[in-house]
Amino acid sequence: DAMVIQNPRYQVTQFGKPVTLSCSQTLNHNVMYWYQQKSSQAPKLLFHYYDKDFNNEADTPDNFQSRRPNTSFCFLDIRSPGLGDAAMYLCATSTILSGPANYEQYFGPGTRLTVT
Amino acid sequence: DQQVKQNSPSLSVQEGRISILNCDYTNSMFDYFLWYKKYPAEGPTFLISISSIKDKNEDGRFTVFLNKSAKHLSLHIVPSQPGDSAVYFCAASAGAQKLVFGQGTRLTINP
């Protein structure tokens, strides 16, 4: 089955220690997204890639970086995690279709990050 | 500045009855709206959507209504089933393949 996969599902890191979360997809979608979701809050878009074009949200801290080495993979790097970065990180994909607009996004199961 | 709001954090409905989840938005540029459903330990999954050129879209037990003048949309589930117990997110798009999400409503269906 085509899907969005996130590894690991649970990640514990120390305050200030760099951490990388990964996302892969078998949908061959050209757009990939990273969201941060804190408890009982809306998922918040951090950035997205349209093919290789990186699009950062204006309020995404510099501490968050991303890489997309190919269509299938996308990484979220947190350079110096703080306690406030503990959250669920969701990866999603979508595709640009011809014809009527379709903004549906397909989500992975998320990685829950704990910062100690 | 929360552009998409779901004012009810939780909702409890008896099995077989209608569930109505509500969502309000402030950005008049939004032209496409979606509902997602999320089970614990899983990512959100797409449920149903509606374009701003319509005021209703139906898919089986799920119907979404859009009231553009009130900047309000609602999701109706009828009849509600135990498997519908989940967190429901409303999302909106103003194009550019980006979605703005509400904070979610936890729906519990009681037997």
What is the distance between the alpha carbons of residues B37 and A5, in angstroms, rounded to a whole number?
A: 18
pLDDT confidence tier of residue B98, bands split at 50, 70 and 90 = confident
* Site from A105, A106, A111 to mutate, B interface, most B CB atoms within 10 angstroms: A105
Dmax of chain B from CA atoms?
Answer: 42
Task: Give B5-28 pLDDT, tens digit per residue.
Answer: 999 999 999 999 999 999 999 999
Task: Give A79-112 pLDDT, tens digit per residue.
Answer: 999 999 999 999 999 987 655 566 889 999 999 9
CB atoms within 10 A of CB B106: 15
pLDDT at B41: 83
Residue A48: which of B31, B44, B98 has the nearest Cβ? B98
Q: What is the dihedral of CA B3, B4, B9, B13, to 10 degrees?
A: 160
CB atoms within 10 A of CB B74: 16
Above 70 in pLDDT, residue B99? yes
Tell me if B103 and A94 make a contact (CB, 8 A cut-off).
Answer: no
Residues 52-111 of B with CB under 8 A from A: 89, 93, 95, 97-104
Span between the terminal Cα atoms of chain B, in Å: 38
Residues 25-54 of B with CB under 8 A from A: 31-32, 34, 36, 41-46, 49, 51
Round the average pLDDT of chain B to a whole number and report it: 95
pLDDT at A98: 56
* Site from B36, B97, B100, B101 to mutate, A interface, most A CB atoms within 10 angstroms: B97
Tell me if B43 and A107 make a contact (CB, 8 A cut-off).
Answer: yes
Tell me if A43 and B4 make a contact (CB, 8 A cut-off).
Answer: no
Which residue in chain B is spatially nearest to A33 when comparing CA positions? Answer: B98
> In a 3-state reduction of DSSP, which class is residue A64?
strand
Above 90 in pLDDT, residue B69? yes
* Site from B35, B54, B99, B103 to mutate, A interface, most A CB atoms within 10 angstroms: B99
Task: Give A15-60 pLDDT, tens digit per residue.
Answer: 999 999 999 999 999 999 999 999 889 999 999 999 999 999 999 9
